[in-house]
Every structure is written in structure tokens, then in C-alpha cells.
Amino acid sequence: MDLSYIINELGEEREQYFNAVAPPIIQTSNFTFKKVDEMRKLFKDEYSGYIYSRGLNPTIDILRKKLAALDEAEDCLVFNSGASAIFASVLANVKAGDHIVSVEKPYSWAQHMFNVILPRFGVTTTYVDGTQIENFERAILPNTSIIYLESPNSWSFALQDLTAVAELAKAEGIITICDNSYCTPLYQKPLIMGIDIALQSATKYIGGHSDVVAGVLTGRREMMAKIFNSEYLTAGNGISPFNAWLLIRGLRTLPIRLQKVTENTKVVLAYLKAHPKVESVLFPHDESFPQYILAKQQMKAACGLISFYLKVEKIEDIVKFCESLKHILMAVSWGGYESLIIPGCASVTPEAYDINQKPQRMLRLYIGQEEPDYIIQDIDQALNNT
């Protein structure tokens, strides 16, 4: 299917709403029936039509069709956060006593689920360095039900060979879930590589304007129906029609925004690499990246996020650098129009500052839609001040 068709037309039945170009926000909790029999049908199978907006809703359905098509998936569910999409995809595929193999350091709230919530139900997790397929082979137990992946990781950019892991999991009857927030379906399609469930935080590039929190799951129709009929309806964590509408709007410009972010990032990366005060950079499509070859094979492009280390004598110098930035905002998240920075040292108290701890020295930069010179000038004046 053409990308332009998916973004501009798919799912939009304009003649049903006065030929309006933009879709309506169907802001309703419930839907009426003329026939008892029709109501009975929906009671029996809520995934087959509109009855109540905790389940299906027409505005959200337009978005679901587009997001499924972008991933070349049979079906899609949209959640009110990326974290709730993670939660539902994992919970739907484990039972008491099961075991999960997860790539090390996945998104923090996935870790919380594995470390704090699931152990209460006797579900254990083994974390592996996902850069080597053997580590997955070794970690699998007879009761392993899920392999949880995030490729690339949004801090270290560590990748997993998705085709190899999917093959291994299939042979063992294990479900694979891959967090694809970094790439979006435009730069990487995990389902095509054999992964069972692709997930993303739509808060990032899909929303693109730092004004919506949302999450996406894509996969086979049967898997999405299973999650819908159980976790999705029970937890009630679907997206609101208005937020779905904002994501449809975000999708209209996703290709051009990603393109701009990708181009900007290349320019800023080259600047950072050449600066005497920069010790090193981490970026998956840079030749210095340890998994550069796999990154080139697996991802159409790399964008937005750069991690780097400054040559400084004390952590306070990093604090000074961050606080000297005038345009790049210090904030969590990424994928919006605005450039952002997070210092690793924000995770520890000043008493614990230790320049020898690499994670404390790490800086993660997100490059937004500004002109690259504008971003570089800001970094430059902050570095001169450090």
C-alpha cells in the first residue's frame, strides 16, 4: 500500500460525514441500536462494532486502520499511553509461573512491570544482553512465554537481530514483542521480520507535537482480538477520540517531519563529533557504533536521538552545560518539534556525583524541527560556557 494513500485516505469515509476533509471527533460514550438482535450481537462480540467507547469508536478506528497498514499488520489497538500498550501486550501473554526473557534495560516502566508487578504472580524475568543471539538461546526455559525486545534502545541504541530472535522464538513457541518507538514503522517494520507484536509510544514521533500521550500495538487479528476482549476492555486504557484525532493529524506530516529530524540529526552529529570538548558520541548509523552493520541492515534510517559524553572534570560542568542551553529544553520524552536534552546525572543526587560513572556523564539529545544551525549555535555557546 502507498504511504501517501495510508496517510491521506485509508479509513476515511468522507461521504459519511458531509465530505469533510478532516475526520470528525466522535465524542460519544455510547451508541444506539434500533434492533434487539443487533444489540445482542454486539454483547456477544464487542470487537465487531460500536456499542461503547471503552471498546471501539469510529474516530479511533480510522487511526487503527492507518497504523495497522503502516506496520503491514492485520490489526492494531491504540492505548492512552505507550506504557499501557506494553502492559497489555505482556499481561495478555503470561500466566502464573511463566518466564519472560527481556532485553536488558528496556523502557523503565516495562522494567517496573517485570521487576515489581509480575513477580507477585510468580512470573519471573531474565534480562539478557540482546546484542548476541546466543544470550537469548541460553536464557530460554521450558516455561518461557515471551521474549521482550526494544530495538534500538532509546539511550544506548543497543539493537537485537530481530529476524534471528523471531526465528528462535517461533521454533520454541514463544511470543515476541518489540518496542519500535525509536524507528516508527517508517524506518523499521518488526512484524515483517517475524516479530509477533510491534509496539510504539505514539507520544513520540506519531503525535509529534508534544501534546498527546498514546501507545500502539500491531499484530495478527487474532492476537489483537485476544488483547481487546480481555486486557483492553478490562483496564479501560484505550485512547480518547480527541487524542486519536490528534494522532491522525500527526500522521499527515510524519514522513516529512521524520525526514527533517533525520537530516538535522546528521548535521548536529557531525558538529558534535568534531568538537574538542566532546569525548564520544553514540548513534546507530555512525560508523563508530558497535552494531553499525546490523543497524544499517535492519533500520532504513536513524534519527532524532544522540547520546554523547563531554570531556569534563566534574559532574557540575555537565550541570552547567545543560543549564546554559537557551533554546534546547531540558525535558523528558522526544519525537516532538522541539529539541531536548536529558543529563544522566539527573538520576542521582549531587552527593552521589561521580565523574567516573559513565551513565552519570551521559547526555541524551533529541533533535527536533528547528534549523540545524540554530541548534548547533545553542550547543556551541553552552559548550563555550562550560
Instruction: List residues near ligand PLP by CB under 6 A.
Output: 81-83, 107, 150, 154, 179, 181, 201, 203-204, 213, 215
Helix, strand or coil, per DSSP, at residue 96? coil
Q: Which of 206, 382 has the CB closer to ligand PLP?
A: 206
Q: Which of 157, 289 has the CB closer to ligand PLP?
A: 157
Q: Which of 78, 193 has the CB closer to ligand PLP?
A: 78
Least distance (Å) between residue 305 CB and ligand PLP: 9
Q: What is the rounded CA–CA span in Å between residue 117 and residue 354?
A: 32
Q: Please enumerate in sequence order all residues whose Cβ is within 8 A of that of 260, keeping only pairs 6 or more positions apart, or say none.
A: 369
Q: Which of 57, 180 has the CB closer to ligand PLP?
A: 180
Note the Cα 87 to chain centre separation in Å.
13
Least distance (Å) between residue 276 CB and ligand PLP: 31
Q: In one letter, which amino acid is 13?
A: E
Question: DSSP per residue over 187-220, as a string?
Answer: H--GGGGT-SEEEEETTTTTT-SS----EEEEE-
In the complex, residue closest to ligand PLP by CB = 82
Least distance (Å) between residue 261 CB and ligand PLP: 15
Least distance (Å) between residue 347 CB and ligand PLP: 16
For β-strands 362-366 and 305-310, DSSP reports them as antiparallel
Least distance (Å) between residue 232 CB and ligand PLP: 15
Query: How many other C-beta atoms are found inside a 10 Å radius of the C-beta of residue 97?
Result: 11
Least distance (Å) between residue 155 CB and ligand PLP: 9
The four Cα atoms 146, 124, 116, 109 give a dihedral, to 10 degrees, of -20
Q: In one letter, which amino acid is 68?
A: A
Q: In one letter, which amino acid is 265?
A: T
Q: Which of 42, 247 has the CB closer to ligand PLP?
A: 247
Give phi and psi for 228, each to the nearest 5.
Answer: -60, -50
Q: What is the rounded CA–CA span in Å between residue 23 and residue 82?
A: 24
Least distance (Å) between residue 363 CB and ligand PLP: 17
Q: Which of 324, 333 has the CB closer to ligand PLP?
A: 333
Q: Which of 202, 328 has the CB closer to ligand PLP?
A: 202
| Nearest residue to 301 (alpha-carbon basis) of 335, 266, 330 | 266
Q: Which of 147, 315 has the CB closer to ligand PLP?
A: 147
Q: Which of 212, 376 has the CB closer to ligand PLP?
A: 212
The string over 241-268, giving b where at least 16 C-beta atoms fall within 10 Å of a residue's C-beta and e elsewhere, is: bebbbbbbebbeebeebbebbbebbbeb
Least distance (Å) between residue 50 CB and ligand PLP: 26
Residue 238 DSSP code: B
- Cell for 322? 545543560
- Cell for 337? 518539534
Least distance (Å) between residue 94 CB and ligand PLP: 19
Q: What is the rounded CA–CA span in Å between residue 376 and residue 379?
A: 5
